[in-house]
Amino acid sequence: MEYKALLFCFIASILITPIVKKIAIKIGATDQPNHRKVHKIVMPRLGGLAIFLSFAAGMLIFFPKSDLTWPVLIGATIIIITGVLDDMMELSPKLKLAGQLVAAGVVVNGGVLVEFINLPFGGQIDFGYLSIPITILWIVGITNAINLIDGLDGLAAGVSSIALLTISGMAITMGNVFVVFAGLMMLGATVGFLIYNFYPAKIFMGDTGALFLGFMISVLSLLGFKNVTLFSFIIPVIILGVPISDTLFAIVRRIIQRKPLSAPDKSHLHHCLINLGYSHPETVLMIYAVAALFSLAAVIFTKATMFGAIFVIAFLVLMVELIVEMTGLIGKDYKPILNLIRDYRTRR
C-alpha cells in the first residue's frame, strides 16, 4: 500500500507542477535574476505548492486516520502559506520566522516532541520543560537549512529526496508506519517535481518548497528517531549532513566577517564549487554524491558497534573539514590540514 501511495504522489506531482507554473507566472510569483542568483532569466517560483498538494492528497487518501495526520498537515499548510507570501512579496525574516514557529508549535501540540534520550550505558536524559524549545529549535533549524541550499536547479529537491529515502528506509526497518507512508509520499511528490526542476529548470520550488521540504524532513526525522539512544539521536544529523554543515559554516563565515547572521552571501557550498570551475549540473551531482555518502554513513552508523560508530563520526568530520578547506567554504586562507600535509611533503 505504501508503494501505491508513493506512485500516486509521484504522478500527481508530475501533473500538478505545470498547472502551478502557470499560476506562478499569472500572480507574479517569479524569481528575478541578480548578482547573487545563478539563473539569468525570470523564473516562476511556486513549485513547492505542487509538492505540497500532491503530498496532502496522498495523506488524505491513504493515511487519513492517524492522530498525526492533521497536526502535520495543518503545520505544513502554515509553512506553505508563509512560503507563498514570501515568493509573492518577499516577507521580512521576522515574519518568515514567525510562520515557522507557529507551524512548529502546531506539530509539537499534536504530539511531535522529543521528551528524553536513553543513554547507551543505562539511564536516560529527561528534557522536561526543555523538550518543547528543543523540538521547535530542531524544526526551525532544519527548515532554514534546506532553504539555504536551494541555490541551484534541482539541488534542494535532490538532497531532500536522498534524505527522505533514507528516513523512509530506516522507518521500514523500525516498523514506524506513519513515517514510512509520509516519507515515501514526500519522496514521490519531490521526485515528480524534480523532473521539472533539474537543470535546466523550468520552475523553481521557491521558499514555498524549500521551507515545506525542510519542515517535513525535520518532523519526519523527529518522529523516526525520537526518544531513542544518545547515539541514535545523531542519525538524523548525519542524514542531513549537507544542509546542516553548510548552514553551520555559513554562520561561522558571517561571524568571522562580522556580518549579520541573516545577511545573504554567495559563499555557500554550491557557490564555492561553481567558483572552482565546475558546471551547474556537475556541482549539483557532486553535492548529491556527498549527501548520499552521509546517508550511507547513517545506515552504517545504526549497525555499528561503539567503536565503529566513533570511527564513522571521525571519518565524516575529517571529510567535512577537507571539503571546507578545498572549497574555501569558510575562507580562501583557511586550510590547516591541507597546509599540514603540504608542509609534511615539503620536509620529505
| pLDDT single digits (tens) 189-200 | 999 999 999 999
Nearest to 203, CA basis, from 157, 160, 162: 157
- Contacts of residue 280, defined as CB under 8 A and 6 or more positions apart, other chains included, come to 38, 152, 153, 199, 274
CA 120 distance to own-chain centroid = 28
**Contact (CB, 8 A) for 196 and 203:** yes
Closest alpha carbon to 215 in 132, 140, 110, 158 = 140
Domain range list for the chain: 2-347
Q: What is the pLDDT of residues 134-158, one digit of tens each?
A: 999 999 999 999 998 988 999 999 9
**What pLDDT tens digit does each residue of the chain (348 aa) get?**
788 999 999 999 999 999 999 999 998 888 776 555 555 678 898 999 999 999 999 999 999 889 999 999 999 999 999 999 999 888 998 999 999 999 999 999 998 888 777 665 556 778 888 889 999 999 999 999 999 898 899 999 999 999 999 999 999 988 899 999 999 999 999 999 999 999 999 999 999 999 999 999 999 998 887 655 555 568 888 999 999 999 888 888 888 877 776 666 777 899 899 989 999 999 999 999 999 999 999 999 888 888 888 899 999 999 999 999 999 888 788 888 988 888 888 876
User: Which ranges in the chain belong to alpha helices (H)?
Assistant: 2-27, 48-62, 69-89, 93-109, 131-148, 155-174, 177-197, 206-225, 235-239, 241-256, 269-275, 280-303, 306-327, 336-347
**What is d(CA 159, CA 161) in angstroms, rounded to the nearest whole number?**
5
Pairing of strands 30-31, 124-126: unpaired
pLDDT of residue 192: 98
- Confidence at residue 120, expressed as pLDDT on a 0 to 100 scale: 58
Half-sphere exposure of 71 (CA within 13 A, CB side): 17
Measured CA to CA, the distance from residue 281 to residue 44 in angstroms comes to: 20
CA atoms within 13 A on the CB side of 54: 35
DSSP per position, 88-129? HH---HHHHHHHHHHHHHHHHHTT----EEE-TTS-EEE-GG
Work out the angle between the directed axes of helices 306-327 and 336-347 (0-180°, nearest 10). 90
CA 318 to chain centre: 22
Residue type, 169: G
> At 99, which amino acid appears?
G
Q: CA 119 to CA 231: how far, in whole Å? A: 8
Angle between helices 155-174 and 177-197 (to 10 degrees): 160
Return phi, psi of residue 229, to 5°: -75, 165
**pLDDT for the residue numbered 113:** 86
Rounded Cα distance between 196 and 25, Å, is 15
pTM for this model (two decimals): 0.91
Q: What is the pLDDT of residues 18-77, one digit of tens each?
A: 999 999 999 888 877 655 555 567 889 899 999 999 999 999 999 988 999 999 999 999
Q: Is 151 helix (H, G, I), strand (E, B) or coil?
A: coil
Q: Is 150 annotated among the ligand-binding residues? A: no
Q: Are strands 43-44 and 30-31 parallel, antiparallel or unpaired?
A: antiparallel
For residue 144, say whether it is annotated as part of any ligand binding site.
no
* The three three-digit cell numbers of residue 28, written as one number: 507574479
Question: In degrees to the nearest 10, what's the CA dihedral of 25, 17, 75, 162?
Answer: -130
pLDDT at residue 347, as a whole number: 77
